[in-house]
Amino acid sequence: MPDELRSPIKHHLVLHRIDPEQGIRRYYSLMIERDLLGTIRLVRHWGRIGTNGQEQVEVFADEIEAGQALEALAALKRRRGYRDL
């Protein structure tokens, strides 16, 4: 795909938090996708590493809004001790 057609928005981000002393082994995944009807969705997936976890989907009017939400959620998780994978 030519660079001018690529989106500047980060579309997939995976964070993890591992603290053996506290027994914490968690992941948090954020992904922006477009469904078959063209709807822009932010899909959040989280849980203990090695499990199916949980999923939540949020619909946005455009890719910019979805990207801002992704970055805000990532910043919140990083403040809580999650690191980029």
Q: What is the pLDDT of residues 26-52, one digit of tens each?
A: 999 999 999 888 899 999 999 999 999
Which amino acid is present at 35?
A: D
Are the C-beta atoms of residues 43 and 35 closer than 8 Å to each other?
no
In whole angstroms, what is the distance from residue 66 CA to residue 82 CA? 20
Are the C-beta atoms of residues 16 and 85 closer than 8 Å to each other?
yes
In whole angstroms, what is the distance from residue 60 CA to residue 11 CA? 14
pLDDT value at 66 more than 80 = yes
Give per-residue pLDDT as tens, 1-18: 444 455 656 689 999 999
**Taking Cα atoms as reference points, which of 27, 43, 39, 13 lies closest to residue 82?**
27
User: Whole-prediction pTM value?
Assistant: 0.84
- Tokens at residue 28, please? 């948090």
pLDDT of residue 3: 45
Q: Which domains does the chain have, with CATH numbers?
A: 3-84 (2.20.140.10)
